[in-house]
Amino acid sequence: MEVTPDLFRSVMGEFATGVTVVTTLCNGGQPYGVTVNSFTSLSLHPPLILICLDRELSGLEHFERVGRFGVNILSEEQAEESAFFAQHGSNRSGFSYVQGKEGLPLLEGCLACLACQVVDTYPAGDHVILIGRVTWAEHRSKPGKPLVFYAGRYTSLAE
């Protein structure tokens, strides 16, 4: 039996993931962000993370050109922000960002944020894997629950 894209998406939907918005700078220093749930820690020594971006992403060249990006770990109250940054064709520079310590655009109300320097990129099917060395990290808001994506929709963690 062939594993079709629809079957693969359906099966992978059984794996719950956290949700992030990954941010960088466009030409002229304008902020750019995109929703990413392909995010994971990779190494403690040195501190490395991994994200995957679609090769068709309109802003992929910004991540490659700038070589730095921010990761915003979303709280369960930020489903609207996640949906906004997941839309094709949205004006991602028109969102209200705050400037992070290293000059990267970040979102308010997140559970935590990271600043990363791209150290490697790898082609992988219809995506590009970016390995980022974490250069700065902090908890950004009061403690809360993460935004979770499962079976094609946002959900909450059980108490």
Q: For residue 79, give Cα distances in angstroms to 8, 108, 137, 156.
A: 24, 13, 22, 11
126-155 pLDDT, tens digit each: 999 999 999 999 997 677 899 999 988 998
**Using an 8 Å Cβ cutoff, are 103 and 116 in contact?**
no
CATH superfamily of this structure's domain 23-31+41-70+89-108+115-137: Electron Transport, Fmn-binding Protein; Chain A (2.30.110.10)
**Using an 8 Å Cβ cutoff, are 30 and 10 in contact?**
no
Percent of the chain with pLDDT over 90: 63
Residue 36 CA to residue 51 CA, distance in Å, equals 7
**Using an 8 Å Cβ cutoff, are 113 and 104 in contact?**
no
- As a whole number of Å, the CA-based R_g of the chain is 15
Helices and strands counted in the chain (H then E): 3, 12
User: How does residue 44 score in pLDDT terms, banded at 50, 70 and 90?
Assistant: very high
Residue 47 CA to residue 136 CA, distance in Å, equals 10
Residue 36 CA to residue 25 CA, distance in Å, equals 16
User: How does residue 159 score in pLDDT terms, banded at 50, 70 and 90?
Assistant: low
Residue boundaries of the structural domains of the chain = 23-31+41-70+89-108+115-137
**What is the reported pLDDT for 113?**
95
Residue 84 CA to residue 78 CA, distance in Å, equals 10
